[in-house]
Amino acid sequence: MAKYLLLKHYRGAPPAVNDVPMDQWRPEEISAHMKYMRDFAARLEETGEFVDSQALSPEGTWVRYDGEGRPPLTDGPFAETKDLIAGWMVIDVDSHARAVELAGELSAEPGADGEPVGEWLELRPFYGVRPTITE
């Protein structure tokens, strides 16, 4: 059907099943979480469904053009994405059903005590982009 963006949220979505903030996880829990993410991406690379993913740093700046010869404004009236979005993954799949299936798998990444996080992921198709994979 299209390429999809899977957004991982810090806030703004319903609470995860295992709703313990990552800054309270033990180092081995963080390592297991990151390994799950890498393994998930590697599996999708093999099927041709993986495009890219990134975890986002908490630093960020708002910037807006404010007219010729004026410095850009660097603060905004909205919640900052550094407070909302933890990271993202782009997938290229042949159907919406497959995108939902993969989002569900990604939501099962391990968190505190090794239990699945069960976080809500925002699944958004790219506007006007067809899949590049074939069956």
The whole-number pLDDT of residue 115 equals 94
Q: Decide yes or no: CATH 3.30.70.1060 for domain 2-58+83-125.
A: yes
What is the distance of C-alpha 49 from the center of its chain?
15
Q: 3-class secondary structure for 80-97?
A: CHHHHEEEEEEEEECCHH
pTM > 0.75: yes
Q: Output the CA torsion sign for 29, 117, 54, 85.
A: negative
pLDDT of the residue at 87: 86
Q: Residue 130's pLDDT is what?
A: 67
* CB neighbourhood size of 58 (10 A): 9
pLDDT given for residue 27 in this prediction: 96
Tens digit of pLDDT per residue, the chain (135 long)? 589 999 887 666 778 889 888 889 999 999 999 999 999 999 999 999 999 999 887 777 777 777 888 777 666 555 555 556 778 899 999 889 999 999 999 999 999 999 999 988 889 999 876 656 655
50-55 β-sheet, strand order: 50-55, 85-93, 2-9, 121-125
Q: What is the pLDDT of residue 23?
A: 86
| Residues 91 and 3 sit within 8 Å (Cβ to Cβ) | yes
Quote the Cα angle for 56-53-64, to 5°.
50
